[in-house]
Amino acid sequence: MSSSTSTDQRQYQFDGPKTPKRTPMACVFCRGRKLKCDGNKPLCSNCDRRGLACSYSPVSPDEKK
């Protein structure tokens, strides 16, 4: 029998759980409907699909809580 060699051993690297990429800011429509916004500008995919005007407005610190 042969002893274990380095070719028999494989190294696995675990980078942690994969988390979905977050969009920095959702458009007004997606935020109001609580939809997943892809953040594309000038039109996100949800607004494009519905034929809506897509607009982004800054979120105040009070709304984040």
Mean pLDDT (the chain, rounded): 81
Query: Which one, of 17, 35, 18, lies nearest residue 26 by Cα?
Result: 35
Candidates 3.90.1150.10, 1.10.10.1100, 1.20.140.10, 4.10.240.10; CATH matching 28-59:
4.10.240.10
Global confidence as pTM = 0.58
pLDDT for the residue 11:
73
pLDDT digits (tens, 9 = 90+) for 37-64: 999 999 999 999 999 999 999 877 776 6
